[in-house]
Amino acid sequence: MIPIQVNRLQSLLLLFILAPFIVGISGCETNPATGENEFLLLSTEEQRQLGAEADAQIVAEFGEYNDDAIQSWVERIGKEVQAQSNDTRFTYTFRVLDTEVINAFALPGGYIYVTRGLLAYLQNDAQLAMVLGHEVGHVAANHSAKQYTSSILANVGLAIGGALFEDVRPFLGAAQTGLQLLFLSYSRDNESQSDTLGVKYATLAGYEAAEGAEFFVTLQRLQEQSGTAIPTWTSTHPDPADREENITQKAAEWKAAVGGGLTGVNPEVYLPRINNMVFGQNPRHGFVQNSTFYHPDLQFQFSVPSGWQVGNFATQVQMVSPQEDAVIVFTTASESSATAAADAFRNQQGIQTLERMTVTVGGFPAIRLRTTVTSDDGGTLSVLSYFIEKSPNVYIFHGYTDIGRFNTYANTFEATERSFETLTNASILAVQPYQLDIFQASQTTTFSSLVTPNSGAGMDILSLAILNQKDVSQQVPQGTYLKQVD
């Protein structure tokens, strides 16, 4: 299923997927990037544990991009760059996430992520090395660990969701740990330090780090084109404006220090690697069209309430009411039958069963439950759930709202959850994602004369120029490798 770019829904995701993790008071830790001692609530071992736990959740929710060659290539460059840091505390892990959003981020414990959306907008290995070096810098300099410490000491945590969703959280295994680190914004000093460290690590690994500045130019162009900041990027990074100047300056200094001989400016090597990579959302993993959610790979569909926002993640779909006072969560069960899944849910502490019925939904055997959920702080929710057996899975709907609003949303919950059925539309079953098409310029001419826009993918000439780090009217030599979207 496809990650969504709506910040509200990304925040709600945290409430449903995190496992509990308790961190104790630790003390002083040596910062590998600076050599200075600093107070952290997270020891090295606790950072390792927290990162490992959050990593499992991130992979479960977003999924890794299914291309071993791309995963291995990113890991190789990441390891080369990380080897130049002073951080020997962790065995670093580098992953490519299967999402179209343009982002890279790091977690304590040495977990580094880039998205396929970001890879599509890079041009060469040097740019990738700089991005990975920047994220290694966040880990080596303890930025996430320090931000986490600051939030705990200030008793702030994450202000996500309302009382409704705070009440839901205990019954879906969620806690304010792990993935909340994705939403602890770094200061500009942190970002500047990571830029500097990224340049250092990439250069010492042999890459032309100045190329990294071109990526920030690309981000700026994307923002100017849309008129807004890139939501997912700016949730974990400040605005890219002016950062390219700092990177260019630092790269020149480090290049002089190592005496040149840097490489990685190789679009002829980089671009063929991402040929045929999925671009944009992958409809095979689910999409909404005409108020219906379709999943071609799993061959099911269900209705989406009018006006509700939809968040499509690797292991669940979330639908949030316009007033953000009700949510429907669709996911799969670990149990092998609807009966077992329903019993597992209603046997959780704090859940009281009001109704239990054996029914049929879309021709499949199902269990319908009406329950109330009481949280530790005494808040109570009303829940309408359906557990549906469609081989080889058991699918679950949970419709949650405050107990006083249940009558307002009961019909909506019922209609959505009972709309589940087999997807039979041949054209939807056959839908395919857009892909990057890498080709060489057949002649020397303007960029706009060489590429073909794709309105279905939202790629006009300007969008393609940004994708290629080119200007629309720029002269492009014959043989130059270019990207378009098919």
pLDDT tens string 426-449: 999 999 999 999 999 999 999 999
Q: Which residue has the higher pLDDT, 406 or 313?
A: 406
Q: List the single range of 54-68, 86-100, 139-153, 265-279 with lowest mean pLDDT.
A: 139-153
What stretch of H or E contains 476? Answer: strand 475-476
Distance CA 466, CA 218 (A): 6
Tokens, residue 403: 């107990």
Give 80's DSSP letter.
Answer: H
- The enclosing H or E element of 386 equals strand 380-390
- Would the pTM count as exceeding 0.85? no
pLDDT band at 149 (very low <50, low <70, confident <90, very high): low
Residues 6+ apart with CB under 8 A from 101: 3, 5, 115, 117, 231, 232, 233
Average pLDDT over residues 408-435: 98
Tokens found for residue 423: 């997807």
Name the burial class of residue 448, with classes exposed (0-12), middle (13-18) and buried (19+) by CB atoms within 10 angstroms of its CB.
middle
Using one digit for the tens of pLDDT, what is the confidence trace for 157-209?
222 222 333 333 333 333 233 344 444 457 778 888 899 999 999 999 999 99
What tokens does 6 get? 């709506």
Percent of the chain with pLDDT over 70: 81
Question: Hey, where are the domains in the chain?
Answer: 13-265, 283-422, 441-485
Residue recorded with tokens 């079953």: 429
- Mean pLDDT of all residues in the chain? 84
Q: In the CATH hierarchy, which fold is given to the domain comprising 283-422?
A: Protein Transport Mog1p; Chain A (3.40.1000)
Question: How distant, in Å, are the alpha carbons of 90, 138, 196 from that of 79?
Answer: 12, 15, 18
Query: CA torsion, points 37, 42, 45, 51, in degrees to nearest 10?
Result: -120
Question: Residue 354: enclosing H or E segment and its boundaries?
Answer: strand 351-361
**What phi and psi values does residue 133 have, to the nearest 5 degrees?**
-65, -40
